[in-house]
Amino acid sequence: MDTYKVIEIKESVFENNDHQANLLRDELKEQKTFLLNLMSSPGSGKTTTLVQTINALKHEFSIGVMEADIDSDVDAKIISETGAKVIQVHTGGMCHLDADMTRQGLKGLGIQGIDLVFLENVGNLVCPAEFDTGASKNAMILSVPEGDDKPLKYPLMFSIVDVLLINKIDVMDFFDFDINLLKNKLVKINPEIQVIPICAKTGEGIEGWLDWIRDEIKQWNT
């Protein structure tokens, strides 16, 4: 008769991912590649913002983009027209990317000589916040039609991002979106967060966003 006993493991599943993410971040720093994880709901204007950003920065930096979606390659096609190096990553039903998937994606993209990589994460404000991808910094886009109450509904997401873009400010008059109300809510959740209002379609406010990226890349490489 076999004797069974209790053997303690006490391993955190999330810590495992955090460990992988830290390893990846160290390697990226070593290689002087800045990885920006861009998160938002579907339809907030991630791809339009990226196209504007890449077109404005492509003469300063060599840029790569990793498009993560559950399916399709519509975004990758649009991005590739900017001339940036693009890889489409399919998560196969998964609602987020983890550090290991990010590593595989970067390997497929090839980051030798690339200064700046945008990771366009799966459109979702829940799961991507739980899993550290190993990115240098986290950015989020909240678009005006989504409403100023979103920090109350998705506090974790707003607590982990370094910069928040408020997109579609050109339609502010048509929605009950109060940017000061939003900022009051953010102070409680994440006092360090930088808020940059933009309109990706017209380019309004985009300069502040570009300067943020330039500063962060400079700091990453020192």
Partner 1 sequence: MHELGIVINVVKTVEDFAQKNGLTKIDTLVLQIGAMSPVIPTFVENCYPIAVKDTLLEDTKLQIEIIPANGRCNDCEHVFNVIQHRATCPNCKADSPEMISGNEFLIKEVVAC
Shortest distance in whole angstroms from residue 120 CB to partner 1: 18
Number of neighbours of residue 170 by Cβ within 10 angstroms: 14
User: Tokens 């998705």, residue?
Assistant: 154
Which residue from 30, 59, 93, 180 is in contact with partner 1, where contact means CB under 8 A? Answer: 93
Closest CA to 200 of 210, 188, 214, 190: 210
Candidate segments 8-16, 75-83, 163-171, 196-204, binder of partner 1 by CB under 8 A: 8-16
Does position 150 interact with partner 1 (CB under 8 A)? The reply is no
- Closer to partner 1 at the Cβ: 10 or 59? 10
Size of the site for partner 1 (CB under 8 A): 23
- Closer to partner 1 at the Cβ: 56 or 95? 95
Closest CA to 102 of 84, 113, 89: 89
Does position 191 interact with partner 1 (CB under 8 A)? The reply is no
Number of neighbours of residue 98 by Cβ within 10 angstroms: 21
Tell me if 41 sits within 8 A of 123, measured CB to CB: yes
Does position 6 interact with partner 1 (CB under 8 A)? The reply is yes
Candidate segments 13-21, 34-42, 141-149, 171-179, binder of partner 1 by CB under 8 A: 13-21
Number of neighbours of residue 177 by Cβ within 10 angstroms: 21
Does position 180 interact with partner 1 (CB under 8 A)? The reply is no
Which residue from 19, 42, 81, 126 is in contact with partner 1, where contact means CB under 8 A? Answer: 126
Tell me if 133 sits within 8 A of 160, measured CB to CB: no
Does position 16 interact with partner 1 (CB under 8 A)? The reply is yes
**x-or-dash string of contact with partner 1, 97-116, rule CB under 8 A:** -x------------------
Tell me if 217 sits within 8 A of 34, measured CB to CB: yes
Tell me if 97 sits within 8 A of 122, measured CB to CB: yes
Number of neighbours of residue 128 by Cβ within 10 angstroms: 27
Shortest distance in whole angstroms from residue 98 CB to partner 1: 8
Q: Which residues bind partner 1 (CB under 8 A)?
A: 2-14, 16, 93-96, 98, 126-127, 130, 188
